[in-house]
């Protein structure tokens, strides 16, 4: 999905997409590969009429007064269309000038589209002072759109620092050179004793620091890059649906399916990072001292160019031979991805900046800011939380349960029928008020089914004590022969007078040795298709014939269990929902969806914050620091995916892509934290003593191997993402 989350941004993206589709269809792109692009390109005036050149510029200079986030949305759509010409370089250059002075007289012609600008991220320019003037000399290599621009914004070494200076193209020697991307021409620029004097205040962008300039450039470059990545992902998936080999669509082969799923995963992760980086720059400009725009931009620059290049390469691979032809669009987008990656400068700089910032000034916080008109509701909830805190522990547990606070999204009386905004406020105010709600654990997955399908007697019997934390549940679904393929379960329930006799074996049952009750799936009609004929039972774990055997894991601990069910009697009133409709019960989702704003990191494993502290305390060489920066960027972006999922829910959008991909990526990144730490210990990694630092990380590493298995293996998650998000055909 694109950067846009709220309806206004979605409308902006749709509008720009419509323009791009009209002015840059495939035949125009291929013509531009062979024929020099006219300057300005044919679409330039249409974009100006839509106000795109001045979207991010102040109204005082003829712009629309929007922010960097809105510009990023536009540039991502231009990336999706691989739009030829100087639009993106000119937009970035004007953003640099505006960051120095929003009212700069240099901006009016750029806002109207009457002038074109270019910029460079690195250069070999130096300046010497002569009286009140600067004299600039040197060379800047491979400047995108330099030959099309009338002004160039270039970094210059002045005294002991670096500042961006605006120079007129007419004063420069510009040598066009062959670009890897013919749709984005480049040129070497030589500056031979060009003097900047009378209008130095406008020309030398002294209000723009080096760090801010690089954050701005890398964020906007990243926006175009994710457009390329999204096009490559969409195009590969579309081709995989129709291209047939061996008698079926290639998208049905798991190798292709997983490749496409990985493409959308890295694209979504990079998109979340770019979205946040643009927001951070806008926050900083609005006076937020804790915006951490430099960190956010470095995260985006670590992830986005890689996503563009990786996805373009995989798009070629999915297309096979046709993808390696000049005539196919993959040629256009791969070249654009390579050019963009080069435009960032040295790729290793950005993970290094991520790790340097994270371990010094800190990471950007991940907070959801609600509209001011929600403050009345917040005050009411805050007062109720304060009232709960004043109660004794026993009274508080009862009041929390009876007040619907544990799972507030549930309908009353079990929840509060809370909408997304109220759920977020509750999730914020309970920790703020230092009031803990009973953790539900596995019960959190079972409660909604009881609410939706249970009888009144079942609800009254099970829900209140569960909400008070007095009743612990386990989930008896997986079997030795039916793990990910749950519909193949073989545990059998036979109808007898007054109930059912159930026999079978369950495995990987978390916490069964501590549970009073279990949610059990068993087959009640062996003649029905495998998804049918399954019934959902509520099982008393103390029943005669139930045997729980802890399953010692790789860690040496026993969180999972094997549960043997030998001719166990379950009365009719412990059937949840209808007989033979248990699959529907197990998969139910309530109309009032639950909104999560928490971390997807398991509390018993390595976390992003813990990893940053480890890196901060360690003595790591530059190669290790670079890898650490990559992991920090990936972990931060996984959390951003979770936040975007919440915001999409608030906006009435589809949160599924962000949520599904967040689970996939965050588990793998969590493993990466522990792998990195243990590798850094050298011989001390053999020390398993939990009292030592190495022992703790070894324990986390051992435990992390389960995270890409439980709750749906990585391979199953990839299938789900490919089939449900990309629409690839299911396995036969």
Using one digit for the tens of pLDDT, what is the confidence trace for 181-236? 999 999 999 999 999 986 788 899 999 999 999 999 999 999 999 999 999 999 99
Let me know if the fold of 466-586 is the same as that of 608-725: no
Residues contacting residue 133 through CB under 8 Å, at least 6 positions apart: 195, 196, 197, 200
Task: Identify the band that residue 384 occupies on the pLDDT scale cut at 50, 70 and 90.
Answer: very high
Task: Identify the band that residue 2 occupies on the pLDDT scale cut at 50, 70 and 90.
Answer: confident
Q: Note the CATH number of domain 119-203.
A: 2.40.110.10
Is the per-residue pLDDT at 708 higher than 90? no
Is the per-residue pLDDT at 597 higher than 50? no
- Give percent above pLDDT 70 in the chain: 96
Say which residue, 316 or 663, is predicted with more confidence: 316
Report phi then psi at 482, rounded to 5.
-145, 80
Q: Name the DSSP letter for residue 623.
A: H
Q: Name the DSSP letter for residue 391.
A: S
Most confident of 225-229, 251-255, 362-366, 375-379: 225-229
Tokens standing for residue 605: 């494993």
Task: Identify the band that residue 613 occupies on the pLDDT scale cut at 50, 70 and 90.
Answer: very high
Calculate ∠ Cα 227-229-231, nearest 5°: 70
Looking at residue 80, its pLDDT comes to: 97
The per-type count for the chain, helices as H runs and strands as E runs, is: 23, 17
Least confident span in 43-47, 49-53, 704-708 = 704-708
Task: Identify the band that residue 369 occupies on the pLDDT scale cut at 50, 70 and 90.
Answer: confident
Longest dimension (CA), the chain: 104
Active-site residue, 593 included: yes
User: Of the listed 59, 547, 593, 679, which one is catalytic?
Assistant: 593
The answer to pTM > 0.75 is yes
Instruction: Write out the CATH class of domain 608-725.
Output: mainly alpha
How many whole angstroms separate alpha carbon 251 and alpha carbon 241? 5
Alpha helices in 103-190 (DSSP H): 108-112
Say which residue, 296 or 593, is predicted with more confidence: 296
How many whole angstroms separate alpha carbon 502 and alpha carbon 687? 46
Looking at residue 602, its pLDDT comes to: 66
Q: Which long-range contacts (CB under 8 A, 24 or more apart) does 285-294 make?
A: 285/67, 285/68, 285/99, 290/365, 291/364, 292/357, 292/361, 292/362, 292/363, 292/364, 292/365, 293/212, 293/215, 293/364, 294/211, 294/212, 294/214, 294/215, 294/353, 294/357
Task: Identify the band that residue 695 occupies on the pLDDT scale cut at 50, 70 and 90.
Answer: confident
Per-residue burial over 565-589, b if 16 or more Cβ lie within 10 Å, else e, is: beebebeeebbbbebebbbbbbeee
Tokens standing for residue 504: 């079978």
Instruction: Write out the CATH class of domain 466-586.
Output: mainly beta
How many whole angstroms separate alpha carbon 109 and alpha carbon 96? 15
Domain-by-domain residue ranges, the chain? 7-116, 119-203, 211-358, 372-438, 466-586, 608-725
Task: Identify the band that residue 132 occupies on the pLDDT scale cut at 50, 70 and 90.
Answer: confident
The end-to-end CA distance of the chain, in Å, is 28
The pairing of beta strand 151-158 with beta strand 125-130: parallel
Is the per-residue pLDDT at 149 higher than 70? yes
Looking at every residue in the chain, the average pLDDT score rounds to: 91
User: Topology of 7-116 in CATH?
Assistant: Butyryl-Coa Dehydrogenase, subunit A; domain 1 (1.10.540)
CATH of 211-358, one of 1.20.140.10, 3.40.50.720, 3.30.360.10, 3.90.1150.10: 1.20.140.10
């Amino acid at each position: 999905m694109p950067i846009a989350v709220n309806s206004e941004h979605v409308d902006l993206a749709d509008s720009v997409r419509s323009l791009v589709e009209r002015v840059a269809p495939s035949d125009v792109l291929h013509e531009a590969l062979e024929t020099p692009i006219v300057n300005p390109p044919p679409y330039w005036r249409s974009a100006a009429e839509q106000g795109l050149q001045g979207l991010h510029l102040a109204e005082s200079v003829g712009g629309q007064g929007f922010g960097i986030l809105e510009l990023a949305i536009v540039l991502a759509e231009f990336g999706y269309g691989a739009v030829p010409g100087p639009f993106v370089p000119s937009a970035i250059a004007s953003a640099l000038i505006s960051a120095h002075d929003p009212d700069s007289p240099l901006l009016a012609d750029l806002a109207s589209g009457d002038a074109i600008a270019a910029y460079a991220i690195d250069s070999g320019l130096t300046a010497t002072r002569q009286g009140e003037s600067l004299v600039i000399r040197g060379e800047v290599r491979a400047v995108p759109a330099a030959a099309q621009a009338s002004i160039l914004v270039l970094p210059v070494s002045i005294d002991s620092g670096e500042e961006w200076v605006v120079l007129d193209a007419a004063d420069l020697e510009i040598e066009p050179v062959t670009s890897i991307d013919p749709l984005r021409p480049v040129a070497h620029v030589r500056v031979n004793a060009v003097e900047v004097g009378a209008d130095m205040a406008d020309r030398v962008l002294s209000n723009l620091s080096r760090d801010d300039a690089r954050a701005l450039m890398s964020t906007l470059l990243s926006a175009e890059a994710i457009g390329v990545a999204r096009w490559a992902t969409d195009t590969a998936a579309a081709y995989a649906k129709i291209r047939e080999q061996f008698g079926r669509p290639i998208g049905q082969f798991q190798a292709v399916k997983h490749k496409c799923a990985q493409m959308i995963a890295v694209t979504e992760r990079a998109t979340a990072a770019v979205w946040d980086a643009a927001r951070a720059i806008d926050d900083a400009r609005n006076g937020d001292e804790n915006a951490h725009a430099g960190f956010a931009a470095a995260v985006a620059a670590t992830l986005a160019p890689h996503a563009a290049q990786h996805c373009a390469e995989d798009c070629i691979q999915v297309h096979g031979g046709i993808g390696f032809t000049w005539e196919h669009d993959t040629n256009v987008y791969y070249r654009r991805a390579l050019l963009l990656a080069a435009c960032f400068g040295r790729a290793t700089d950005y993970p290094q900046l991520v790790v340097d910032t994270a371990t010094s000034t800190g990471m950007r916080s991940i907070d959801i800011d609600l509209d001011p008109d929600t403050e009345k509701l917040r005050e009411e909830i805050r007062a109720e939380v304060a009232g709960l805190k004043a109660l004794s522990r026993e009274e508080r547990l009862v009041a929390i349960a009876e007040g619907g606070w544990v799972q507030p999204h549930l309908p009353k009386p079990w929840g509060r029928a809370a909408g997304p905004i109220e759920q977020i406020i509750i999730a914020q105010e309970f920790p703020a008020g230092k009031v803990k709600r009973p953790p539900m654990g596995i019960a959190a997955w079972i409660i909604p089914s009881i609410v939706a399908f249970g009888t009144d007697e079942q609800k009254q019997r099970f829900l209140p004590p569960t909400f008070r934390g007095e009743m612990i549940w386990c989930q008896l679904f997986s079997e030795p022969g039916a793990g990910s393929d749950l519909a193949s379960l073989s545990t059998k329930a036979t109808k007898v007078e007054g109930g059912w006799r159930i026999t079978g074996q369950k495995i990987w049952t978390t916490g069964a040795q501590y549970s009073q009750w279990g949610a059990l799936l068993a087959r009640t009609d062996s003649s029905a298709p495998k998804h049918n004929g399954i019934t959902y039972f509520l099982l008393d774990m103390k029943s005669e014939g139930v045997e729980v055997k802890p399953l010692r894991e790789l860690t040496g601990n026993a969180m999972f269990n094997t549960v043997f069910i030998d001719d166990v009697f379950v009365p009719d009133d412990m059937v949840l929902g209808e007989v033979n409709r248990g699959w529907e019960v197990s998969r139910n989702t309530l109309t009032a969806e639950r909104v999560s704003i928490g971390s997807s990191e398991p509390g018993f494993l390595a976390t992003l914050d813990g990893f940053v502290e480890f890196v901060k305390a360690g003595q790591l060489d530059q190669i290790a620091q670079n890898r650490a920066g990559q992991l920090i960027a990936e972990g931060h972006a996984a959390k951003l995916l979770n936040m975007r999922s919440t915001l999409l829910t608030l906006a009435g959008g589809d949160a599924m892509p962000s949520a599904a991909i967040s689970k996939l990526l965050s588990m793998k990144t969590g493993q990466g934290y522990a792998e990195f730490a243990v590798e850094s210990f050298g011989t001390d990694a053999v020390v398993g003593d939990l009292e030592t630092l190495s022992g703790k990380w070894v324990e986390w590493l051992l435990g992390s191997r389960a995270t890409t298995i439980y709750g749906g293996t990585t391979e199953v998650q990839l299938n789900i993402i490919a089939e449900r998000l990309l629409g690839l055909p299911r396995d036969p």
